[in-house]
Structure 1
Amino acid sequence: MGLLKETLDNIQTSDKAIVKKAWERIDNLTKPIGSLGTLEEIAVKMAGITGNLNNEINKKNIIIMCGDNGVVEEGVSTCPQNITAIVTNNFTKNITGVCVLAQQVNADLTIVDIGVKDDFNNPKIINRKVAYGTKNMVKGPAMSREEAVKCIEVGIETVDKLVKEGYDLFGTGEMGIGNTTTSAAVLSVLLGLDSDIVVGKGSGLTEEQYKHKKKIVKKAININNPNKNDMLDVVSKVGGFDIAGLCGCFLGAAKNRVPIVIDGLIASAAALCAYRMNPLVKEYIFPSHLSAEPGAIYAMKELGLEPMLNLKMRLGEGSGCPLAFNIIESALYTINNMATFEEAQLHRKHYVDIR
């Protein structure tokens, strides 16, 4: 608990003075004011995060938290539970969706076993196992409060270590059969929404299986009765090790003043958990795409963030992050290299302002 408290206490707001200067520079570039839209907002937000007017990314890393979920016993997924271990191992072979997309943008992966129901003899998988999967949340809490804190601190420690290694842009990924179920439960409680609204089909359920999944989420919430005003109570009772670990990644990034990107539904639930622990976390988060899972849009609205892309993706793994990395780096490169009106010997009156 010491690291978590220290992290929460050391998260500061972004640099508002630099934000003001960044807008002044951007508005003086040879274009109509506001004409680069979200790219301008990204560049300004990055300035606030780093405290520097001009920024470029040196090293990128997608952290993938892998863990199993006891609720799989209830038939909420079409995939057998051992798929979690198989795909976790496959991340090290550079053959999964996120691997290929990360390679394309020269991003590294950090694969963390935070609670897979199997053991690995693979040096590329970091063993931070809290337990061999969570408990079945329809029979009681998914994990203890202490385990939830431990998972969050694993996320913080992971970011702390990578920042020391020079990484300055992070993505968030996960692997865990059943984690769209736990994410829907967490979002339902934290947002005060009926679980039917936020439960999606995950890995491709039939209509009958989909109805069953909704019932399971509702049952888990009713049995555990988590306190929506106590994030640790929520994530320990109806969450997952991966969600808690990623929550720690968001907190760690904010503490270290480095940008971090949300992937899909599970990462969105984790970001909301971090935001509930310290709202300043939002100032360090960039959303990537809008997941096709229904709960994602509600998480984005609560966070007040607008996804950069809508590609109807729902793979998870962190697969949306490399796409966002491309956009972030494009925004920074554009702002750093465009000429000002003075440099281009142009007069602002020739441009129509649109912001």
Structure 2
Amino acid sequence: MTTFLSPIAAPDAASAALARARQDTLTKPAGSLGQLEALACRFAGWQGKVQPAPLQPAITLFAADHGVTDEGVSAFPQAVTAEMVKNFAAGGAAICVLARQHGARLEVVDAGVAGDLTGLPIVHAKVRRASANLRREAALSLAEAEAALAVGRDAARRAVEAGANLLVAGDMGIGNTTPSAALICRLSGAAPDIVVGRGTGVDDAGLALKRRVVEDALARLAGRELAALEVLAELGGLEIAAIAGFYLEGAALGVPSLVDGFITSAAALVAKALQPAVADWLIASHRSQETGHGIALETLGLTPLVELGLRLGEGSGAALCLPLLQSAILLHNEMATFAEAGVSEKAE
């Protein structure tokens, strides 16, 4: 384990097993609630309770800019990152609506936005103003990558101290599908032509350019044996690193994370490369439209709950899945057993 990271324990297998036994006594055919049964048992293991408590979700949105936008990889200008952070702070973005709907704590963190966000009611934790251009050089120094991980770790601690028992990370950063694709390629071994997608909606020429940029970034590292932190520094971004730290510290604190889309899945791959035990504390919410998202999820060993054709980011796909998780726990806790209801069980 990297020395600056906290140790991660395994979920409580005994509580999960007892929860599975309880599922088998509830008034329904065994397995008839599908993934909801398994989810309830996973939460039992995470919380160390046969009947887990209802969820208190916390959503943290990490924002940063990317030097690789100089290559023309995005359909939107870099200035949109700061403009959207202002929209988050004002409560006007999709994730703000969903957080209000679910009563979720929402925090916005500036990990490296290029624009000036002085005075906004957000967490100001800027490591630097945008990453470097990963096509030409390392996106971050090792010290900057470590500092960005710490930004996410601090955010996880704040959320858990405020009472969260489920963490959701969101992302905002124009151009961030390019570093995410590069990380997924490097950490999964998949080729850019099946990982790199259209992001915010680039045309065919823009897609071809993005693929060349990712190919060039990967070529810089060809033949080099790199530790996980070095891969993050070479190919990542500040908000991606912060999200990885968020997942890692959440797991170390015994709190699972609900992974959103393409960017957050790239961050989850980084987290797993740094500390493999984190994978036991992750749930995949959805599979997005972005081409390589499925590859990232397969590499993580995660099965998404839904597929809705989303590609917004912000943590929006994860937030949409919160009612499913709440239902899984409530069904597990509040359904009557066969004995309680006086219902005959299946004949042997």
TM above 0.5: yes
Equivalence for 1:318:
315
**Matched ranges for 1:154-193 at <5 A:** 154-193=151-190
2:141 is aligned with 1:131 = no
1:111 aligns to 2:108 (yes or no): yes
Match of 1:152 in 2: 149
Distance in 2 (CA, whole Å) between partners of 1:33 and 1:174 is: 39
Stretch of structure 1 that moved more, 218-227 or 11-20:
218-227
- CA–CA separation in structure 2 for the residues paired with 1:15 and 1:93: 40
Which of the residues 94, 98, 103 maps onto 1:101?
A: 98
2:60: which partner in 1?
Answer: 63
Give the CA deviation at 1:350. Answer: 5.9
Q: Secondary structure at the match of 1:185?
A: helix
Whole-angstrom CA distance in 2 between matches of 1:213 and 1:142: 16
Decide which of 77, 82, 87 is 2:79's aligned counterpart: 82
For 1:66 and 1:39, how far apart are their aligned partners in 2? Answer: 32
Superposed CA RMSD: 1.6
Q: Return the alpha-carbon distance in structure 2 between the equivalents of residues 7 and 341 of structure 1.
A: 46
- What is aligned with 2:229? 232
Aligned residue for 1:122? 119
Q: CA deviation at 1:26?
A: 0.6
Deviation for aligned residue 1:5:
2.8
Unmatched runs of 5 consecutive residues or more in structure 2:
none
Q: Write the distance in 1 (CA, Å) between the matches of 2:19 and 2:95.
A: 32
Residue 102 of structure 1: CA displacement?
Answer: 1.7
- Once the two structures are TM-superposed, the CA of residue 84 in structure 1 deviates from its matched residue by 0.4
Of stretches 221-230 and 71-80 in structure 1, the one that deviates more from structure 2 is 221-230
Which contiguous aligned blocks of 4+ residues in structure 1 show a shift greater than 4 angstroms? Answer: 226-229
* Matching of residues 322-337 of structure 1 within 5 Å: 322-337=319-334
Q: In the superposition, relative to structure 1, how do residues 78 and 328 fare at CA in structure 2: closer, same or farther (>3 Å)?
A: same
> What is the alpha-carbon distance in structure 1 between the residues aligned to residue 291 and residue 225 of structure 2?
20
Corresponding position of 2:3: 5
State the distance in 2 between where 1:83 and 1:265 align: 19
CA contact (8 A) 1:28 1:340 kept: yes
1:64-114 per-position Cα deviation (integer Å, ceiling 9, x unaligned) = 110000000000001000000000111111111111122111112110000
Contact 1:56 1:329 in 2 (8 A): no
CA distance in 2, matches of 1:23, 1:228: 43
Distance 2:310 2:226 in 1: 31
Cα distance, 1:215 vs structure 2: 0.5
- TM-aligned CA deviation for residue 148 of structure 1: 0.6
How far did 1:59 drift? 2.8
**Taking every aligned residue pair, what percent have the same amino acid on both sides?**
39
CA distance in 1, matches of 2:225, 2:287: 24
Please report the TM-score for the alignment, with normalisation by the length of structure 2. Answer: 0.96
**Residue ranges of structure 1 left out of the alignment (5+ in a row):** none
Distance 2:55 2:212 in 1: 46
Change in Cα spacing, 1:242 to 1:225, as seen in structure 2 (3 Å) is farther
Aligned length in residues: 348
Summarize the alignment of residues 31-46 of structure 1 with structure 2, pairs less than 5 Å apart.
Answer: 31-46=28-43
Q: Which one-letter code corresponds to 1:21 in the other structure? A: L
Any residues of structure 2 matched to 1:198-277 within 5 Å, and which?
Answer: 198-225=195-222, 227=224, 230-277=227-274
Q: What's the counterpart of residue 348 of structure 1?
A: 345
Name 1:195's counterpart in structure 2: 192
Cα drift, residue 29 of structure 1 = 0.5
Inter-partner Cα distance in structure 2 for 1:337 and 1:293: 38
Picking from 48, 69, 72, the partner of 1:51 is: 48
Q: Secondary structure at the match of 2:60?
A: strand
C-alpha contact 2:338 2:345 (8 A) present in aligned 1: yes
Tell me the distance in 1 between the aligned counterparts of 2:223 and 2:255: 32
**Contact 2:140/2:234 (<8 A) preserved:** yes
